[in-house]
Structure 1
Amino acid sequence: MTPTLRTDRLLLDQYVPADQEDFVTLFQDRRVSQWMGDGPATEAEDRALFGRIFTKVYAQDLFDVWAVRRNGLYIGHAEIKPTDVTQGYEIIYALTPDVWGAGLGRELAEAIVAYGFDTLGLTEVHATVVESNGASLTVLSRIGFEHVRDIAEGDGSTTRVLTQSRAMQPTRQE
């Protein structure tokens, strides 16, 4: 079950059915969706994606997915999940454009990464970012992600694979 996470300004908690309109609005905003997955989708596809959060992701406990809230209002989406691209766990996050530039992307990314290291026990956390998404590349660089390789996409674009590592902590001997 996806746990609730808190930062100084954010609450990350499980989606509830009442979040559907906010989720669809976020994913239908091309300023946001151009950077997500395969890019903009239809409204029907985004509604189906929202439904799968409940019928697959939460129902089968596949990975952690959060609604991101600030002062009780929905402002974004976050995930940490296994991915074949890196053979590890990848963070995914998106915020509504009206909160861009306030440092919330950094705060959100740091919270997801800390959860990956501290709760999931990961030694590496990855992110894949389209090369032209300078804002996300800057945020991730500032919190310790390093560029490890590029993936040439079929449409001519390049996806950057970034990794943050944490050395394994030695186990205590009793």
Structure 2
Amino acid sequence: MTLLQTERLTLRPLGPADAEAYAAMRFHPQVAQWLPPASGDPVESARATIKRFATAWHERQRAPWGIFRDGGLIGHGGLNFVPEFGQTEVLWALHPDAWGKGYATEVARAALAFGFETLALDLIFAITLPDNHASQAVMKRIGLTYRRRVEYKSFKDVVWFDIDRPTWQAQTG
């Protein structure tokens, strides 16, 4: 499992002790509206997600990190292999108190660098709901290009952006 430090953030795999803080972020109504629905007790669901992330770190050397600022959990972000598409996604979700500060862009850029430089991935994509303009702005800011609309899980219509390694290398020099 990989720990990264960006200019302002610490990115580290989530652990069992993070479950309550993670649940508070993940199930916040303003965050949950953009994510696939989850049912049951929020803390138990958070524990299951953290366990799933740990398994992904072990099996694929990538999963979302917890995003920490000044020692507190403000969200999750990073890379996630999506079997339905056979590709790796860059993703982020932040507590509303952390919105509008550039943290999503900072995490996404670090995740792209990790994916292309360390993991040697060929392509990284991102998806979101068509009306999530804030996430689409991050996607554009980090160099992803809109490609198409797809179905994913309970969402019948999501927008797909992606970037390949040569394009990312050309953009980052």
Q: 1:118 is paired with a residue of what secondary structure?
A: helix
Contact residue 31 and residue 95 of structure 2 kept, 8 A: yes
Query: Which one has a bigger Cα radius of gyration?
Result: 1
Is the contact made by 1:86 and 1:126 (CA closer than 8 Å) also made in structure 2?
Answer: no
C-alpha spacing 1:147/1:51, structure 2 compared with 1 (3 Å): same
SS at the partner of 2:109? helix
2: CA distance, partners of 1:117 / 1:59:
19
2 CA distance for matches of 1:154 and 1:16?
26
Q: Where does residue 103 of structure 2 map in the other structure?
A: 104
Matching of residues 9-158 of structure 1 within 5 Å: 9-36=8-35, 38-42=36-40, 43=42, 44-54=44-54, 56-58=55-57, 60=59, 63-152=62-151, 157-158=156-157
By how many angstroms is 1:30 displaced?
A: 1.6
8 Å CA contact retained: 1:152, 1:159:
yes
- Structure 2 counterpart of 1:123, one-letter code: D
CA drift at 1:136: 0.1
Q: CA deviation at 1:24?
A: 0.8
Deviation at 1:86, TM superposition (A): 3.6
Aligned-partner SS, 2:78:
strand
Q: Taking structure 1 as reference, are residues 41 and 62 closer, same or farther at Cα in structure 2, changes over 3 Å only?
A: farther
> When you count helix as a share of all residues, which structure comes out higher?
2
- The whole-number CA distance in structure 2 between the counterparts of 1:139 and 1:94 is 12
Q: Which runs of 5+ in 1 are unaligned?
A: 170-174
| Aligned residues between the structures | 166
Instruction: Output the CA distance in 1 between the equivalents of 2:154 and 2:131.
Output: 13
Q: Distance in 1 between matches of 2:110 and 2:25?
A: 20
Check whether the contact 1:124–1:165 (CA below 8 A) recurs between aligned residues: yes
Q: Which runs of 4+ in 1 moved over 4 A?
A: 58-62, 152-157
Letter in 2 for 1:97: P
For 1:66 and 1:117, the matched residues in 2 are separated by 17
How far off its partner does 1:131 sit?
A: 0.7
